[in-house]
Amino acid sequence: MSMLQRTAITFLEASFSLFPVVLITGARQVGKSMTLEKLKEKGVLKNIVVLDDISVLNSAKEDPIAFIESLETPVAIDEIQRCPELMLAIKAKIDREKKDGFDLNAKNNYKLSKGKFVLTGSANVMAHPEIRESLAGRIDIIQLEGLSAREIKQKKSFPLFSDFMNLLKQKAELAEMISFLSLYLPESFVEDELETNIYYGAYPEVRLSESDFFRNRWFASYEITYIERDIRNFRVDDVFGFNKLFRYIAQRSGSLVNYHQVATAIGLDQRTVKRYIELLELTYQATQLQAYHSNYGKRMIKTPKIYLNDTGHMSFTQGVELTKLKENDNYGCLLENWLFSELRKLAYMETNQTRLYFYRSHAGKEVDFIAEKGNQILAIECKGKRTISKKEISGLEVFLSDYPEAFGIIFYTGKDILTYGSRILAIPMRIFF
């Protein structure tokens, strides 16, 4: 596992050469510490400070300014959310170095201090207003998720939101798009590889082990560790109630958020349900997907969907077996969640230029995902089938009629790239491998 190359490494190096601080966020155990070790191995970092060490943490809390001044940069501080006071000390150090670099004769007045601190956090420390404001303009934030299907196979990412959307922007012919996509279709593909990825999920230890026993023990322990180390820090006393919500969401991942319905089902009040769902997002366990509307303001008032971020954890909670995954009544939902996770990973590596939504018309027609990048709009459907009927693209057709500048894609489990008119392509799911 130590030799595994993460797509984020190159991205992080580029960011660190431009910003004084880079914050790597993401769920516990997605590989943040492993990423730091790789950066140190490459000479990008001189040292890594781990705040899980009680003696180190106590020293940092006792005198944050002296602690930061004692560190030789470039340095990484792992699990920064355990001592957010360090953020203000980092700001003070960067601002002082910026002031010292002020030059009246220089064209840009001062030299920005770059490449000083890499921070990691398994809870969103930037959710605190005082911390967010203190490092505004000084920090780049990169969200790290679990392994993508292509990272597992050590292949270059499928550039859906960069090169392919550029073809759309250039109004390329369908033949040119198909030729481009064909370059990324693997020559060989194991039939059950998709199900394996869904079942084990994307946490590096679980995915690379491919052991049922390890998977089950790991997720059972993860839930306990996550609640004890992350959720209690948010002063949640009713951890039993929080765990009930967590499991309820895992059972219904991909559904619309209905606070009243959830509260009634698990015996909590709506305000508590809302807060607990926010905590799931803050700790990178779940994502709320907003509805798409051409009027940006209206997107925020429509009911969102909620997805658990890892399909391995989702299938574990649902008690799904690998050998019976495809026959499971919830397979379509698991597949949709997996595709969403792959799309998120691609979007995060696009410097956050791509925004993801879902679409539902007044008449009830739906499109699983809408990707928006500037003026480019990509409507994406997920189908766990080898053939696509005309009826199954009706949601796409409604959306494309409302948004004539958009293009439609159906990811399905068949073998060939197919066309449906001039604005819809069906693409084999194996392109993500």
pTM above 0.75, yes or no: yes
Strand order in the sheet with 418-419: 355-360, 366-373, 376-382, 407-412, 424-428, 418-419
Contact 335, 198 (CB under 8 A): yes
Spans of all domains in the chain: 8-143, 149-432
Closest CA to 198 of 146, 249, 243: 146
Q: Which residues pair with 424 in a beta bridge?
A: 408
- pLDDT tens digits for the chain (433 residues)? 446 889 899 889 999 999 999 999 999 999 999 999 999 999 999 999 999 899 999 999 999 999 999 999 999 999 998 898 899 899 999 988 876 654 545 555 445 578 999 999 888 776 666 566 667 778 898 999 999 999 999 999 999 999 999 999 999 999 999 999 999 999 888 879 999 999 999 999 999 998 999 999 999 999 999 988 888 888 898 999 999 999 999 999 999 999 999 999 999 999 999 999 999 999 999 999 999 987 766 555 589 999 999 999 999 999 999 999 999 999 999 999 999 999 999 998 776 689 999 999 888 899 999 999 988 999 999 999 999 998 889 999 999 999 999 999 999 999 999 999 999 999 999 999 9
d(CA 168, CA 315): 36
- Angle CA(217)–CA(223)–CA(224) in degrees, nearest 5? 95
First-residue to last-residue Cα distance in the chain: 18
CA dihedral (70, 71, 73, 75) in degrees, to 10, reads -170
> Which CATH topology does 8-143 take?
Rossmann fold (3.40.50)
List of residues 6+ apart from 415 with CB closer than 8 A:
386, 428
d(CA 356, CA 354): 7
